[in-house]
Structure 1
Amino acid sequence: MAIAIAESADTPARLIRRLVRAARDAPDAAAGLVAVICADPSTYLPLALSLAHAGVGVLDSALAEAIRGTDLSYEEWIVLEEIPPRGTGILPHAALAAAEQCRQRADSSVHIATALSAVEVRLSGVGRYRDALAASDEAVILWRELEAADSATHTADLAKALRTRGFVLSGVGRYRDALTASDEAVILWRELEAADSATHTADLAKALRTRGIALSVVGGRLDALAAVEEAVSLWRELVVMDPAAHTPDLATALSTLGGSLAEVGRRQDALAAVEEAVSLWRELEVMDPAAHAPDLATALSNLGVLLADLARNRDALAAANEAVGFRRELEAADPAVHTADLAAALVNLGSILARLGRNQDALAAARESIGLLRVVAAIDPAVHTHALAKALLNSGNPLGGLRQSGKALTVTEEAVGLLRALVAEEPAAYTADLSRSLVNLGIQLSEVGRRREGLAANEEGVALLRKLAADEPAAHNPYLAAALIHLADRFYDVGQREEAAAAAEESVALFVRLHSDLPQVYVDELAASRHLLDSLTPKPFK
C-alpha cells in the first residue's frame, strides 16, 4: 500500500523521518521512535511504516514493539498491515505484529479469515512455516464455510487462500499437499475466469504459475511446463491490453518458464525465455529503478546459470557480475533489506567461477557470501540459517579445487550441523538438503583419508533419500540415483566391491527410468553410472 507523504518544516513526516534515521544509526534512539508512535499512533504509525524501509534489526523490532503496544481498531490495523510490501523482506516482524493485531480485533468470520490469511503470509516471511500452516488451516476452513454460504462473494477469497496455502505447504516440505491446494485453486479460478475473464484472468495466471512450481517437484516436469506455458500465454494476452499493469507479471512468469524448460532439457528455449525476462526487467528498471532493480538482478543471476549450462562461460560470468553489481548498489542503500540477496547473487557468481576453474575468485565470492549471511543469520536465524548452510556447502567446491580438503571438510561439517538443527525443527522442509549435504560430507571425509566415516555419512544420506523417494519419487529419485554413485565409490574405497557394484546397479536402474522420461536431461548421468557399474563388475577370465 502506497501512502503519499507531503513534507514541510514542521510536518509529522519530517519528524518520523529524522527519528527513523536516528534509530538506524544509534539503536538507543529507537526508544524515542517508539515513544512518539505510541503517543499518537493514528498519525505516526502509518508514516513510520511507510518511511522505515528496513528489513530486519533494531528498527524492525522497534516498530513491532510500538505496534504491540498500540490500541487501534480492526479497520485501522488491516490498512496498516498492508503497508510493508509482502514478499520483500521489508519490516517482517513489524508486519507480523500488525497482522496479529488484526487477528486479535477481528470480530466476524470474514474479518477473522482475512486476518488469518494476513498472519499466514507474515509468519512465512519470518521463517515460521509451521505456525503459518496452522493459520492457513484455520483460514481455509473459514473461507470454505463462507464460500458455501455465499459463493458469489467468497469463492475468490477461498481461491486466494488456497494459492497461498500451496506456497506455505511447499515451505514445510509437503509438496504433494501443496500440489493439491494449487490444483483446487486453479479449478476455482478457471470457473471464475470463465464467468468474468476481465476480472479473473490475472488470478488464474498466478495460480497456474504456482501450480507449475509444485508440479515441477512432485507431479512431473512436463506437466509443470504445460502449466507455466499456459500462465505465460495468459500474461501475454493481458500485457497487450494493459502493459503497465501486467508486464512485471509476464517477466516473472517467463523466469519460471525458463526454469521449467531447463528441467526438461530444452536449454536453448529456456535461455530464450530468461533473456526475454531480462529484457523486460531492463525496460521496467529504467522507468522505476527502486521498484524493479531487485527483479532485474534476480533475472540476471538466473541467466548466468543457464549460460553456464550452455558453456557460454564468458557471457555467464558477465550476467552474474552484473547481478552482483545491482545487488551491491541496493545493499549499500539499504543493507537490512538487501544483504541476503547480495549473498545469494555472490553464491551464484561463485558457482560460475568454480565451473570456469577460477577457484581463487570463486572462493572469494563464497567467503563474502558466507560473511554476509552470518551477519543476517545472527539477527534472524529462522529466516537465514538455511541460506547460510547452502552457502557453506557451495564453498566446498572451490576449496576442493584448490586442494584444500581440510578446509572443505570444515565448512561442510558446519553446514551439516546447521541442517541437522533445522531438521530437528522442520524435518519435512529440510531433510532433503541434509541428505545431500551428508553425501558431500562423505566425499570430503574420504578425500582426507577418513574413509569409514565417509562411507557412514554417505550411507546416512542415501537412507534419508530412500525415505524421501518412497513418498515423492519424482522429486527425489534423481538425487537418490546420483547419491548411489557416490555410495558405490565409498564402498570401493573401503574394499567392499560387492556392495559397490550393488549400489552402482541400483543407480543405473534409476537413471534408466529417468532417462526414458527425459533423455536430454539424463543421458550423461546414465552413461556415467553404466561406466561405473561396468568397472565394478568382474570380467570372465580369458
Structure 2
Amino acid sequence: MANLQSDQNNVESAQANYEEALQSYRDLAAENPRTYLPDVATTLNNLANLQKDQNNVENAQANYEEALEIRRDLAAENPRTYLPDVAMTLSNLAILQKAQNNVESAQANCEEALQICRDLAAENPRIYLPDVATTLNNLAILQKAQNNVENAQANYEEALEIRRDLAAENPRIYLPDVATTLNNLAVLQSDQNNVESAQANYEEALEIRRDLAAENPRTYLPGVAMTLNNLAILQKAQNNVENAQANYEEALQSYRDLAAENPRTYLPDVATTLNNLANLQKAQNNVESAQANYEEALEIRRDLAAENPRTYLPGVAMTLNNLAILQSDQNNVESAQANYEEALEIRRDLAAENPRTYLPDVAMTLNNLAILQKAQNNVESAQANYEEALEIRRDLAAENPRTYLPDVAMTLNNLAILQSDQNDVESAQANYEEALQSYRDLAAENPRIYLPDVAMTLNNLAVLQSDQNNVESAQANYEEALEIRRDLATENPRTYLPDVAATLNNLANLQKAQNNVESAQANYEEALEIRRDLAAENPRTYLPDVAKTLINLSIFYLQAVPDTDRSVGMAVEVLEIFQDFQEIPIVVRYAETAVRVLQANGVDISQQP
C-alpha cells in the first residue's frame, strides 16, 4: 500500500504506512532475526526512497545506511541471496549522495554496486545483466555531473548495448530501458554540442516511447512527454524554434491531461514544462506569453510547496529566478528585484540545512541579482553580490573543480564587466585573464563545451582593451574570438552564427575608431548579412540584432564614409523595426539613436514613423 501511495505522491499516508510496517518488522525481527531482518532492510530502503524524494536527506541517509549494514551482515552469511540487495542499497545511497554533491562517496558506492552486479552477472547473466546496465547508467549520470564526459559516455554506451541485447529477446520488458538510456546519452551529447548524435538518440527514444504509449498510455505517456521536453531543449539551443515550440506544447498538453487524472504526480511536470516553454518564449521576445507561463508555473509550485516545502520550494525559487530575468530584461526593476530577493531567501534557507546541494543555487541567484543591480548603477550592491557568489564558487571548486570551475570563471567574467564599467581597469583585466585561463584549461580537455566560453571571454577582454586604446591586444583577441566562432559555426551554424556576427560588429567598431574604414565596412556588412539571414527565419529573436548593426552602419555612413542615402535608409529601417519591438528597452535606445542620425542628416523627423 505504501509503495502505491508513494507513486501517487500521497506522501503523508505512505510515510505512515512504511513506519508502521517498519515497526512491525522490527518487533518480529527481535524474536526471529533470520526471517524478518531482510524485511526490516527492505522497508528501511523504501522509506528512505520516499524521504529522498522529499529532500529529507538526514533521515533518508540514516535509513539507507541501516539497511546497508543489515544487508552486508546477511550477505556475509549468504552472499548468493543478499549481495543483490547490498548492491541495490549502495546504488540508492549513491543517488542520494550525488544529489548532495557528496561526489566521492557516491562514486565509491556506485562502483562497489557495479562490481557486485558484474560478479553476479558473470554467473547468472539473465538475472543480473539488467542490474549491471542500471548501475552503469547511474554511474554515468554521476560522471556527467562531474564533467567526466569520456567515462560517462562509455558507461552509457555499455548500458545501451546490454539493454539492446536484452530487448532483442524480450522487447516488452527491456525496450523502456533502451529508451531511458538513449535519452540519458542524448542529454550528455547535447551538453557536449554533439547535436547530430543527440538528436538521433532523442528521436529513437521518442519513437520507442510513442510505440509503447500506443499500447499502454498510462504507463508510457509520461516518458513520451519527458523526451519531447528534452528534444525541445536541444532544438531551442539550435535556434530551431518552430520544432522546439511544437514539442514543448505537445509535452505540456500530455502533462496537463495526465495531471487532470493524477494532479499529485503530474502537476510538477506541468510546471517544469511551462517553465521551459517560457524560457523559449523569452528568447523569442514573446514577453507576454513567457510571463504568463512563468506565472502559471510559479502558482503551481507555490501550491505544491504549501503542502510539501522540502520538495517544491527549490522549484519555487527557480521559477522566481527565471521570472526575474524576464522582468529585468523588460526594465521592470522593482518586480525583478523582489523576485530575485525572494528566490535568494529561499535558497539561503535551503542551504542552511543542506549546503552541498543548495549553495550553488545561492551563488547563481547572487550572480543574477548583481547583474540587475549593475544595470541600475547600484554598483556597491552588485560588487558585494558578485564577490559573495565568487567566494562560494571558489570554495565549491576547491572540492570539485570539474563541476564548479566553469562557474568561477563565469563570475569572474561578470565581475570584470562591472569593474570595467567603473574604470577599475586593473581589477577587470586581472579577472578577465583568470577567467580566460580557466576556460582555456577547460577547453584543452573538452573543446566542444568550453571553446565558446574562451571566445566570449576574449571578446569581453578585447572590449576592455579597446576602451583603453590597447588596440593591438584588442584586435588580436577579437580576431582569435572570431576564428573560434567561425570554426564553431561551420559545424553548428544555428547556434554560433549569432556570435560570429556579434564579434564582427565589435571588431568593426574598433577598426572604425582606428580609421581602418575598409575593414570596418566589410565586417559591419558581413555582420548585417548574417543577422538578416537569421532574422528571416526567426524575426522575434534576431531583428533587434539587425537593428544594432544597422544603427552602427548608419553612423558609419554619416561619419566615416559619408553616404547620406545609406545612412538615412538604415536609420529609417531601425525605426521600422522599432514599431514591433517597442517593449524591448535596447531597441528603444537604437530608435533614439536613429532619430539623432536622421536629424544629423537633415531629415524632417515628423515625416518618419
Give TM-score, length-normalised by structure 2. Answer: 0.76
CA apart distance, 1:464: 0.6
CA apart distance, 1:540: 5.7
Provide, for residues 418-464 of structure 1, a one-character-per-residue CA deviation record: whole Å limited to 9, x for no partner: 10110011111111121111111111122233221111111111111
Paired letter, 2:562:
K
Counterpart for residue 413 of structure 1: 433
In the alignment, the residues of structure 2 paired with residue 146 and residue 265 of structure 1 have an alpha-carbon distance, to the nearest angstrom, of 47
Q: Does the 8 Å contact 1:201/1:234 carry over to 2?
A: yes
Q: 1:170 aligns with which of 174, 190, 202?
A: 190
Counterpart for residue 80 of structure 1: 90
Paired letter, 1:105:
I
Task: Tell me if 1:325 matches 2:348.
Answer: no
Provide, for residues 277-302 of structure 1, a one-character-per-residue CA deviation record: whole Å limited to 9, x for no partner: 11111111111111112111111100
In the alignment, the residues of structure 2 paired with residue 132 and residue 352 of structure 1 have an alpha-carbon distance, to the nearest angstrom, of 37
Q: Quick check: 531-540 or 346-355, which moved more?
A: 531-540
In the alignment, the residues of structure 2 paired with residue 487 and residue 396 of structure 1 have an alpha-carbon distance, to the nearest angstrom, of 20
Paired letter, 1:78:
M
CA apart distance, 1:493: 4.0
Paired letter, 2:523:
A
Q: Quick check: 109-118 or 268-277, which moved more?
A: 109-118
Q: 1:94 aligns with which of 105, 126, 140?
A: 105
CA apart distance, 1:217: 1.7
Q: 1:222 aligns with which of 229, 238, 242?
A: 242
Counterpart for residue 278 of structure 1: 298
CA spacing shift, 1:242–1:167, aligned 2, 3 Å: same
Provide, for residues 86-107 of structure 1, a one-character-per-residue CA deviation record: whole Å limited to 9, x for no partner: 8734433322222222221221
Q: 2:552 aligns with which of 515, 532, 542?
A: 532
CA spacing shift, 1:43–1:270, aligned 2, 3 Å: closer
Counterpart for residue 144 of structure 1: 164
Q: Does the 8 Å contact 1:77/1:102 carry over to 2?
A: yes
In the alignment, the residues of structure 2 paired with residue 179 and residue 394 of structure 1 have an alpha-carbon distance, to the nearest angstrom, of 32
In the alignment, the residues of structure 1 paired with residue 564 and residue 283 of structure 2 have an alpha-carbon distance, to the nearest angstrom, of 43
Counterpart for residue 375 of structure 2: 355
In the alignment, the residues of structure 1 paired with residue 515 and residue 397 of structure 2 have an alpha-carbon distance, to the nearest angstrom, of 42
Q: Does the 8 Å contact 2:320/2:340 carry over to 1?
A: yes
CA apart distance, 1:146: 1.9
Does the residue aligned with 1:265 lie in a helix, a strand or coil? coil
In the alignment, the residues of structure 2 paired with residue 219 and residue 519 of structure 1 have an alpha-carbon distance, to the nearest angstrom, of 12
Aligned residue runs from structure 1 range 265-414, under 5 A: 265-414=285-434
In the alignment, the residues of structure 1 paired with residue 227 and residue 92 of structure 2 have an alpha-carbon distance, to the nearest angstrom, of 21
Paired letter, 1:151:
P
Q: 1:104 aligns with which of 99, 112, 115?
A: 115
Q: Does the 8 Å contact 2:45/2:89 carry over to 1?
A: no
Bigger Cα Rg? 2
Provide, for residues 462-517 of structure 1, a one-character-per-residue CA deviation record: whole Å limited to 9, x for no partner: 11110111111111111221121111123334442222211111100011011112
Paired letter, 1:82:
N
CA spacing shift, 1:147–1:330, aligned 2, 3 Å: same
In the alignment, the residues of structure 2 paired with residue 477 and residue 359 of structure 1 have an alpha-carbon distance, to the nearest angstrom, of 33
Q: Which runs of 4+ in 1 moved over 4 A?
A: 1-8, 41-54
CA apart distance, 1:336: 2.0
CA apart distance, 1:364: 1.5
Counterpart for residue 572 of structure 2: none
Unmatched tracts of structure 1, length 5 or more? 12-40, 55-66
In the alignment, the residues of structure 2 paired with residue 87 and residue 127 of structure 1 have an alpha-carbon distance, to the nearest angstrom, of 13
In the alignment, the residues of structure 2 paired with residue 205 and residue 44 of structure 1 have an alpha-carbon distance, to the nearest angstrom, of 32
Counterpart for residue 17 of structure 1: none
Paired letter, 1:73:
L
Paired letter, 1:353:
Q
Does the residue aligned with 2:99 lie in a helix, a strand or coil? coil
Does the residue aligned with 2:147 lie in a helix, a strand or coil? coil
CA apart distance, 1:398: 2.3
Task: Tell me if 1:247 matches 2:267.
Answer: yes
In the alignment, the residues of structure 1 paired with residue 91 and residue 429 of structure 2 have an alpha-carbon distance, to the nearest angstrom, of 45
Q: Which structure would you say has the larger RCO, counting Cα contacts within 8 Å and 6 or more residues apart? A: 1
In the alignment, the residues of structure 1 paired with residue 330 and residue 84 of structure 2 have an alpha-carbon distance, to the nearest angstrom, of 54
Paired letter, 2:506:
H
Q: 2:276 aligns with which of 247, 256, 263?
A: 256
In the alignment, the residues of structure 1 paired with residue 84 and residue 434 of structure 2 have an alpha-carbon distance, to the nearest angstrom, of 45
Paired letter, 2:309:
P
Q: Does the 8 Å contact 1:405/1:447 carry over to 2?
A: no
In the alignment, the residues of structure 2 paired with residue 307 and residue 119 of structure 1 have an alpha-carbon distance, to the nearest angstrom, of 39
CA spacing shift, 1:78–1:322, aligned 2, 3 Å: same
Paired letter, 2:369:
L
Task: Tell me if 1:157 matches 2:144.
Answer: no
Paired letter, 1:176:
E
In the alignment, the residues of structure 2 paired with residue 213 and residue 156 of structure 1 have an alpha-carbon distance, to the nearest angstrom, of 21
Provide, for residues 56-79 of structure 1, a one-character-per-residue CA deviation record: whole Å limited to 9, x for no partner: xxxxxxxxxxx99x9872432123
Identity %: 25
In the alignment, the residues of structure 2 paired with residue 403 and residue 337 of structure 1 have an alpha-carbon distance, to the nearest angstrom, of 36
